[in-house]
Structures are given as structure tokens and as C-alpha cells.
Structure 1
Amino acid sequence: MTDTAIATPIPPLVVARADHGISRKDISPNALRVLYRLRDGGFQGYLVGGAVRDLLVGGHPKDFDVATDATPEQVKALFRNCRLIGRRFRLAHVVFGKEIIEVATFRANSADDTDDRSTDDGGRLLRDNVYGSIEDDAVRRDFTANALYYAIEDFSVRDYVGGYADVQQRVLRLIGDPVERYREDPVRMLRAARLAAKLGFTIAPEAAAPIPGLAELLGGAPPARLFDECLKMFLAGHAEKSFLLLEELGLLPALFPETAKALATNRSGALRTMVLQALRNTDARIAADKPVTPAFLFAALLWPAYCRELAVLQKSGIDPLVAQQRAADRVTLHQAHRIALPRRFSLPMQEIWLLQPRFSQRVRKRVFRLLSHPRFRAAFDFLELRATAAPEVVEDVAFWREAQAQAPGELADRLQPKAPRRDADGEAGDDAMDDDAGAAPKRRRRRRRPRPGGGAGAAE
């Protein structure tokens, strides 16, 4: 097959069960249930898209999508556990407990913009509910590898655009003109990078070439959708490869503009080294089936931007504590214009950053206060991450690792209390008394209010 983009369907290829290796035991029973119900109702129904692609390369898909000639309303009439969603793409969701089987009606490209299919001035698709045949549906999908249909009638794989050969060759190829397809939906550029990283595929040259010049189109994509795409990209076990592809394709400045700017001006490369190590660690945790959190991930991805903003503010003479909070707020706000990071993740992210300077402190009271902080463990993990590229914090990592392993009394003996603060009369102030408490500050006695009717002396 040549590298030219596919514009029209080729004669369909039917790959028999004996030749493709997909087994029904690897398909969700609920997806099979939907397919059989559609068939019994007199409709066509096929397993389609990423599930077929992943099964062909030996993967284990989590999501199973179905394509059918039944309209969403007809699907709903067949399944009591069905709900209709979407305006841009009208879909049927058949719900089986925690699993949702997404059922989409075959769609077609319309020559004229109608009420059911419309684009904006830049060519971005706003609404697409023009129904058609399976051949129409195959041509309007994004990549050839995603346009494969598994039929339960004979357990064959149907290929209308050459996707089966591309999967065998591990190539991602767009269907139709790449520039037009990216303009219809700029997020396809991110999908190309994510799928190539996930599957170990290469992006066909004609599909990769326009991406750097069109990357800024991502600025018009909904920030919430970009957040979801980032989670798929960085929290699915192939974060490092995805990041490297974003750099290679020129997509990083469009997705993380301030991080890209900070990395470009960091001559030592230490910030990039740290980001890559964070992504490597994330991949390792996912492979080991350990939990990961978007807060820590974004703390690492945006740390270069935070460091750059903090340096600018401190250079202008702003108080360090004020500069730290202001830098955190600015980076979070600016990034939100591209990626809608929810507050439940952005606030812990900022706490991780703002706790970093406190790891250099060795005053007894402050050490115990930091150890008891609810975000201590995440902040310490971040400190360890920083040590991979910043030798100056290695000593802090060693101290705090030992501090966590020691008993409170033993740790208190190691630490020096803060030098007493003297008042005007030369007496030790409250700081000295608090530091003498060691692991925990003393409770202050509450002052009693004077009783009603008390004399002037009582009131004083």
C-alpha cells in the first residue's frame, strides 16, 4: 500500500476467523450481548474501532464500542438500560453496572452543511449526525486502524479502507486529507501521538508532516476535552513516550506553553530530565498496578513553568513567600486556558510546590509540623524526584528519609530548638516556649471571661 492518504474506500477485505486471531473470550460479554440483541432486532451490529485494533495486536481493550445501522432511538427501544447522550455526536449508551457499551449509528459525510452536520469557519466539526452505510461510516473515521469492524455473523473482520494491513505494519494513517481532518478536529493530532506511543506504531509521513504547522489549532479545543486527553496520554502506562512524541511533533508548546518555554531556556537540561523521570516513574507505578494521581503528574509537568515564573518574581524583589504563592497561582491560571485542571487536582499540586522550601529547614517545631502535614508524603516524593536532576537537594532527601523512620523523641533529640526570641525586657518569648515542647506544641490555656457585675479589677 502506498503512503498517499486514502480518500475513497477500496473494495472491502473480509478477514476470516482463522486468519485474524480475535477470540470471543477476549471480548466483553456485555458487548456481545448488545451485538446479538441488535441482530435479533433485525439490525446490523459490529464491534468497531480501538477494541478491534487492540485485539489484533494482542492487547486487552477496556472499552468496547459498537457501530450499527439502527438509529439512537431504535437502539433505545431495544434496551431498557439505555440512555441517549450528545449533541455533536448523538450516541446510545447501554449500561451494564459499571460498564458502558457505546453504540453509534453509521455516519456519513454530507456534501452540504445541514442542521445535522456543521463546521465553523476554520473547518472544525461542530455537529455530525448524518447517518449512512457501513462504507460511509468507515471513510469518515479518523485513522485506518480504527476503521475495522468485527462481525458476529461469521466472526470475520471487515476492512473498507486498508486498516488491516496498516495494523499488521503498525502504521497510523489518516483517512482522507490530513490537513482537512486535523482542522475538523484538532485533538486528532494528540490522538495520533497517544496511539503511536501506546501501540508502538509509527505515524505515516503524510499524517505527521502537517502537525507542527497546525498545532496552534489546539488553542480552540475545549479545555475540558484536552484535560481528558492528557489523562489518557499520561496515566495509561506510556507517559514518557507520549511526551517525547509531543516534543517531536511540535505539540508541547500548544498543550503546555509555559512549560515548553521554560524547558527551552533551561540550559542545563535539568528540568527536562526531572520531567522525564516523573513520567518514567508514573509508567512504572501503573505497570506495578500502583495508584497514580493527576495532582502529582501535573505538579511535575508544570514545575518548569513554576520555577521560571518564581525566578522572575524573585528577581523583581518580591518577598519569597509572596512570590511562591503568586507564581503558583499564575502558572495554574495560565495553564487553565489550555487545559481545564479541576481544583481538586490544582490545589494539591500547588501545595506540593509550596512545601518544597520547607524541606531545607531543621528547626524542631517546623520539622514536626511538616511531618504532620497531610500533603507531606506527596511533597517528599516530589523532593525525591527533584533530587534526580538537582544534586543540591540530595542532603535534604537523606535527612527527611531518616526523620520519617525515627521515633518522635529520638528525632527531637537530634534537632536544635529555635534560638529564643527576646522581648524588650530580655525575657524569652513564646517561640522559645513552643520549641521546648518538642514533638507537639503545648495547649494554651483559655482565658475566662469576667463574670457579669464584676468590678473594674475583674474586667482588667
Structure 2
Amino acid sequence: MTISGLNGFACRSHFALRLPIFHCVRKPRFGSVAAIETLDEPERIIDEKRHNLGGEVGRKYHKVPEWKKLNSKELGISTSMIARPTRKVLNGLRQRGYEVYLVGGCVRDLILKRIPKDFDIITSAELKEVARAFSRCEIVGKRFPICHVHVEGTIVEVSSFSTTGRKFSGDLSYDVQSPIDCDEKDYVRWRNCLQRDFTINGLMFDPYAKLVYDYMGGLEDIRKAKVKTMIPASTSFQDDCARILRAVRIAARLGFRFSRETAHFVKNFACTILRLDKGRLLMEMNYMLAYGSAEASLRLLWKFGLLEVLLPIQAAYFVHHGFRRRDKRTNMLLSLFSNLDKLLAPDRPCHSSLW
């Protein structure tokens, strides 16, 4: 099914626009936040001594939920749910004595009994050691390098604790209370989790110990069907504005909602996505529209003021037909994408030319 008028972005000149940040970011109006569907209050700030890090009394820290270590069987996860190429990479590193974990969205999807789009591995091995362990492996990326391991016609991404730890070259720009009574390995895992975008993507799964580590309340947010940034949303989206689009994609695909704080800054930082280059915007749009959740993605983009930034002609169509931001009705455009969604899935996407 070809959707005419939606082949690529509707207004190409729109992407050349790079407005200064003070033109795009509206001053927060907390009175407007109440109009957004939410599940919780903004994160509280506590004033106490930092645990295990020698912090000073009197400094303010963002409170971290009590961390959990759960048996994967209790969560319904078995190793048979892990793709065969991923198991080969895990076994190859484990046999050489390295610690290995599955991390990110794949752990979330396993808990939700969904088929992960891909599996990401993190290990205690250095990237050079990972490259030596496999015959077809290359290190890619300069700023945040990872390994691409080629197994059975697929690519398995492997990152290293030592490499990701370098992102914290100095003090954090925000203060977060560390987990209570954590040992050195817990501390390393916790610090890595802080670098991830959302709490539901901050879980780690050790398939050999059959344990799932949750340091930031990700399991509770999965239970509440909530998308919440790992660190304060304003800081998270300023650090990487692509997280705004990832938040929409995840919420649309899983049927989740944003936390109050996350929703507020998705809406008020909408124009900052114009910082992204055209290729990155196209990639993020393809993730939203080509993997079976296009209708839900369009509704969220419209609701939070992102559609007019990305697809202004489609946004104008919504305006012309009197489609309100929180409208539950459908229209021809949404119906077209709804029918497309029935043919697609995260492991069965369509080509971008279709939308």
C-alpha cells in the first residue's frame, strides 16, 4: 500500500531551519502541565548525606528508588527467549571469563513478553578484547565506540563498561543519590544505568546468574506503563534532544504514557529536535512509522506539538479538519496508518518509501 503525499518528509526546507534555542523553548508554564495525562508527581529532591560516595551533608540529591535484584524466572524470562546469535556472543565472552549482561530495551521487552527489535550486550571486557574473541568483529564509533559482532548474518552490538564509564569524565551536572549498601560491581552497573535514556531501559539481565538488576525503578515504571527519563527530563533532553523522539516512539509502541515531568519537557522542548541533522530525523521518523505503531506515534506527535515541526503539511491537515490535540476520533490520515500498522511489527518493518 502506497500512501501518496507521505513519501518522505512533507516540507524539506523545514529541516534546513536551525532556530536558536531561545526561540524554540517556551518558558515552562507549570499551570499547563495539569492538562497532560500523567501517572505521577515530579521527582522529589531530598536533602541528606549521600550514601557510599562520601557526599557532603546539606547537598541536594535526586532520590533513587530502592534498587532491586530479582530472579529472571519470576519475571517470566528464560534464556530460550534470547536470539541464537546473541547467545553465541554471550557464551563466547563468558567462556573467556568476562561478565556479560543484556541491557536496555531488550530486557524491557522480554519482561513484557514482546519480541525485542535487537539485543544489546555490555561486558567487563575491553572492546579490543571483544574484537579478538570473534573472527568477524569491528569497533565502530569515535565518541562512544562499540563492537559490531557479525554472527549468522546479523549484527550484535557489544559495549564495554570501561568505555561507557568514560562518559563520566567529571562530576555529573546533576546530583543523584547512589544505591544503599551497594558493592563495587553494583556501583559500576548503577553508573552505567544512569547514562541510559529512560528508567524502563535501565535494566540489566545476567542470563547466567538469572538475575535482573533494577537500580532506577524501571520495573515499577513498566508495571505502571510509564515512560520517565533516567535523570531530570530538562537535563536529559538538553543533553540529547533525540531522546524526545525516542520517548514518543517507545510510548507509542508499548502503549505507555509519559510521567508528568517527562511530558512537560517533551512539549516545551519540541523545537529543539531541529538541532538533529536530516538523516537522524529521517531515521527516528522511520522507527516510529515503519514498525507497526505509526498511528499511535502520529497521535503523540500531534498531542505534544511535534507534528508541525516534523511534518507540517500533515499537521495542517489535522488543523483543517478541526482535530484537537487530545482528540480520540480518527481521520483519513490516521486510518491509513492504522491499516499499515496491521501489516507490520518490530521484527517485520516496512521500507521507508511506503510511508
When the two structures are superposed, what TM-score results if normalisation uses the length of structure 2?
0.71
Matched ranges for 1:120-199 at <5 A: 133-199=188-254
Q: What are the ranges of 5 or more consecutive residues in structure 2 without an aligned counterpart?
A: 1-38, 45-61, 173-186, 325-329
Alignment partner of 1:286 is 2:344: yes
Distance 1:36 1:291 in 2: 29
Q: 1:79 to 1:282 in 2, by over 3 A?
A: same
Q: 1:169 to 1:262 in 2, by over 3 A?
A: closer
Aligned residues: 278
The CA deviation at 1:84 is 0.9
Q: What CA deviation, in whole Å up to 9, does each residue of 1:75-132 have, x standing for no partner?
A: 112112211111232010111132111001222352549xxx9xxxxxxxxxxxxxx9
Alignment partner of 1:245 is 2:300: yes
Distance 1:65 1:32 in 2: 11
Q: Partner amino acid for 1:282?
A: L
Q: 1:277 to 1:160 in 2, by over 3 A?
A: same
Q: Tell me: higher relative CO, structure 1 or 2? Use CA pairs within 8 A at least 6 residues apart.
A: 2
Aligned to 2:334, which of 258, 263, 276?
276
Aligned to 2:116, which of 49, 61, 77?
61
C-alpha contact 1:5 1:178 (8 A) present in aligned 2: no
Decide which structure has greater helix share.
Answer: 1
Structure whose CA Rg is larger: 1
1:224 counterpart residue number: 279
Where 1:277 maps in the other structure, the secondary structure is helix
C-alpha contact 1:9 1:139 (8 A) present in aligned 2: no
The CA deviation at 1:11 is 5.1
The CA deviation at 1:146 is 0.4
C-alpha contact 1:238 1:283 (8 A) present in aligned 2: yes
Distance 1:14 1:191 in 2: 27
Matched ranges for 1:305-344 at <5 A: none
Alignment partner of 1:295 is 2:353: yes
The CA deviation at 1:143 is 0.5
1:332 counterpart residue number: none
The CA deviation at 1:191 is 0.9
Q: 1:53 to 1:88 in 2, by over 3 A?
A: same
Distance 1:292 1:157 in 2: 33
C-alpha contact 1:141 1:175 (8 A) present in aligned 2: yes
Distance 1:83 1:248 in 2: 41
C-alpha contact 2:66 2:217 (8 A) present in aligned 1: no
Q: Partner amino acid for 1:185?
A: D
Deviates more, 1:1-10 or 1:103-112: 1-10
Aligned to 2:100, which of 39, 45, 57?
45
1:375 counterpart residue number: none
The CA deviation at 1:10 is 4.8
Aligned to 1:22, which of 63, 71, 77?
77
Where 1:286 maps in the other structure, the secondary structure is coil
Distance 1:138 1:150 in 2: 12
C-alpha contact 2:67 2:216 (8 A) present in aligned 1: yes
The CA deviation at 1:267 is 5.7
Distance 1:292 1:93 in 2: 24
Where 1:14 maps in the other structure, the secondary structure is strand
Q: What CA deviation, in whole Å up to 9, does each residue of 1:290-329 have, x standing for no partner?
A: 98443341xxxxxxxxxxxxxxxxxxxxxxxxxxxxxxxx
Distance 2:286 2:323 in 1: 29
Q: What CA deviation, in whole Å up to 9, does each residue of 1:253-290 have, x standing for no partner?
A: 22113432454245699xx8221122112112326x99
Aligned to 2:257, which of 189, 202, 225?
202
Q: Partner amino acid for 1:30?
A: P
